[in-house]
Amino acid sequence: MLFSPRRCLRPISGRIHNLILSSFLSSTIANKFLKEFWITCSLYGFQDSLLFQPNEPDTSRTVVMSPDSMGLPSETVTIETPDNEKLHGYLIKQQHRYSEKDTMIFFHGNAGNIGHRLQNAQILYRSCDINILLFDYRGYGKSTSTPSEMGLYTDAQAVYDFVRKREDLNQEKIFLFGRSLGGAVAFHLASELGQMNSVPPLSCVMVENTFTSIPEMAKRLFQVFVLDYVPNWCYKNVFSSLSKIRHIKVPVLFLSGGQDELVPTIMMQKLFEECKSQKKYFHNFPDGMHNTTWLASDYSQIIRKFLIDCNNERSRHSSSSDHKGIDIQSFLQQDS
């Protein structure tokens, strides 16, 4: 056969393909796409080191300040998890009639250890008249292993179970507090307990400057357009608080720093709006930054009065059918 269209078109189509590919790869759009795709892949590989920072500052894994140094009476505790990790913690107890007081389980942020939270704990201890359980997640402080999303969830449940087994603590007054990453861990635990209808229920949940999810935070921090098309299952860690908060039935207090340079206030607002609790409060600290909101002059007052309200509500055995949020300012005026 002298003429074969297939044989003639094959080299032509091959050359066209190569020209198109060459043009594509040399284009600005392609370079941007490949660059951002590489960044996206790198983010997955380094996600743990970006999210979990137990070695910041440098001595965080070896030096953990004791509550004694702050004049806080405490008990050093070791909590074993179902997967045989050991969590190091401090149970800071009120000196007088501590068994009648509220007990806060404190979930800290993504860096440092519980020793770095003692100044905050001291303020809450003295202002709110509460017991505080501080503990380090796996891989933090003197706790064993390395951190992971599922690992932190396991730790949270183990710590909660530990507190529930303490006969010397008032089981009607156990509540969760989570800051930043700790807020996501607290929301997960509260969501699980809400779906199980645990008895007795948590007294309440408090979160400060926490996020809706890690994928949403990644989009904000790295501003890579490829991330808009990456499904959640591609993320190593998700911490999807927005999808979990609807299962939380107990009162929730949202503490938001108006100048938070890391977690945008709108994320806290979204969480507040999605929350289906019959009693929820949102308070904005206008000058609060991500790591300094707790230094606001009225910070402890907000927490104290929220606890009082929760305890009074429980004692009245009454509940509202209205899911509408309540302005914390009007709430504060009730007890001023």
On whether both 9 and 69 belong to a single domain, the answer is no
Helix axes 181-196, 149-164, angle to 10 degrees: 60
User: What pLDDT, on a 0 to 100 scale, did the predictor assign at position 219?
Assistant: 79
Q: pLDDT tens digits for 23-37? A: 555 555 555 554 545
What are the CA-CA distances from residue 56 to residues 116, 140, 213, 214 (Å)? 11, 10, 22, 20
Q: Which residues contact 253 (CB under 8 A, 6 or more apart)?
A: 204, 205, 206, 207, 280, 281, 283, 302, 303, 306, 328
**pLDDT of residue 5 exceeding 50:** no
Question: Buried b vs exposed e over 199-208: b needs ≥16 C-beta within 10 Å?
Answer: eebbbbbbbb
Structural domain includes residue 219? yes
Q: How confident is the model over 206-234, as pLDDT tens digits?
A: 999 999 999 888 878 766 555 555 555 56
Which pLDDT value is given to residue 155?
99
> For the ranges 8-12, 48-52, 157-161, 327-331, which has the lowest average pLDDT?
8-12
The pLDDT value given to residue 325: 52
Q: Which domain holds residue 80?
A: 55-333
Residue 50: inside a domain: no
**pLDDT tier at 11, thresholds 50, 70, 90:** very low
**pLDDT at residue 130 is higher than 70:** yes
Distance CA 259, CA 290 (A): 7
Q: Judge if 137 and 39 occupy the same domain.
A: no
What pLDDT score does 236 carry? 76
The dihedral through the CA atoms of 257, 263, 265, 271 has a sign that is negative
Residue 266: pLDDT band (50, 70, 90) is very high
* Domain co-membership, 129 together with 93: yes
Residues 147 and 275 occupy one common structural domain: yes
Identify whether residues 228 and 315 lie together within a single domain. Answer: yes
**Among 60, 74, 143, 180, which one carries the catalytic annotation?**
180
> Does residue 39 share a domain with residue 90?
no
Decide if pLDDT at 330 tops 60.
Answer: no
Separation between Cα atoms, residue 185 and residue 136, nearest integer Å: 12
Rounded mean pLDDT of 319-326?
48
Nearest to 91 by CA among 101, 81, 82, 83: 101
What is the CATH number for 257?
Answer: 3.40.50.1820
Identify whether residues 27 and 159 lie together within a single domain. no
Are 314 and 197 found together in one domain?
A: yes
Query: Any catalytic annotation for residue 180?
Result: yes
pLDDT tens for residues 276-295?
Answer: 999 999 999 999 999 999 99
* Catalytic status, residue 260: yes
pLDDT on residue 190: 98
Q: How many domains does the chain have?
A: 2
328 shares a domain with 215 = yes
Query: Which pTM was predicted?
Result: 0.82
